[in-house]
Structure 1
């Protein structure tokens, strides 16, 4: 009898659903009230946050987007190896990456920049790479082609770089610049 009860509970446990994961959608109604859901009921809901599974930030095929990166590099005059290094550090080549701060896609573009960079779908690799490269080009121009400063501005924002007149003393930003520069140099030698 005890054995039968054990098998009953084991079978019941196996039938329980596993963890539930879902994207989050947002809608602002006519009164300015913001509604969130994981099951949009109308086309007025837009993707707000893409769900990350635990292993979502593992490195995927690092050459998968080379053609798109080359096109963006040619279009904006930014080195291919620099764009690729930024993508590697920002998203590990995951087009659905979303940061805790809300940056989206391969080059982790912040929603506040979508409009100025003509981004309608931040998870579209072509759009994201083109927009991220355009922004990187702007930072390179702003800091007279000084790549470390442009990278610091890409990560921490140009206001922070302007305030300190150098790479800001933020551990995350300094580590970011170090990682991107190391990859940039490695990709240049390949």
Structure 2
């Protein structure tokens, strides 16, 4: 059973960016389990795992372009210090404040990475309006969340928005809050663009993704099949 679960997880990873990543299986007369995301009309396959689709909502951020460039050295420094991708830090700042160091949310979140006072204090931020301190504290918080959720980017981003307890109480899934459900794909969209070396001032495309992490498009959409001897 553990082997089959591992193979299902592997196949989900292979199926990233597929239009339909549900997993299908059948066991042949030799006891070999066949797994695929593309049953291609073969009636022997039956669905064994449904992969949730996440809508990527249309998002707009009006960036302060001068400030955005000005903060890149601070972002790279903090990212290197805490072992976090600069693309992820930029993605969070893009979604949170649009590079406005003076931003304050109705809930009291402050600065570039929108730190609430308790989080700022926890990560040693004395002045959340200071770009250097805010980026350092926000990046340290992201690194903490990535460790807490074993590198699961989606859960770490969800926890950044809704808090760790909300993610845990949701069974280690994205909490069912409208804000968080929109926030996660928005940050992932920015993250993918920064990974690709682009820096969109406006994200307008509405699409659907099935992958838990941004990933390169597979070279081929042909049948992906795993075979293993059934226990």
TM-score, normalising length: structure 2? 0.57
1:188 paired with 2:195, answer: yes
2:141 is aligned to 135
**Structure 1: runs of 5+ lacking an equivalent:** 1-56
Question: Partners in 2 of 1:119 and 1:89 — Cα distance?
Answer: 21
- Report the count of equivalent residues: 134
1:72 is aligned to 78
**Structure 2: runs of 5+ lacking an equivalent:** 1-60, 198-231
1:1-190 map, 5 Å: 58-61=62-65, 62-164=68-170, 165-190=172-197
Q: Which has the larger radius of gyration?
A: 1
Question: Partners in 2 of 1:115 and 1:178 — Cα distance?
Answer: 28
Higher relative contact order (CA 8 A, sep 6+): 2
Q: Which whole-Å deviations, capped at 9, do the CAs of 1:83-127 have from their partners, x for residues lacking one?
A: 000000000000000000000000000011222111111010000
Deviating beyond 2 angstroms after TM superposition, the runs of 4 or more aligned structure 1 residues are none
- The structure carrying a bigger strand percent of its residues is 2
Question: Partners in 1 of 2:128 and 2:140 — Cα distance?
Answer: 14
How large is the RMSD of aligned CA atoms in angstroms? 1.0
Q: Which whole-Å deviations, capped at 9, do the CAs of 1:159-188 have from their partners, x for residues lacking one?
A: 100000200011110111111000101100
2:208 is aligned to none
Question: Partners in 2 of 1:115 and 1:175 — Cα distance?
Answer: 27
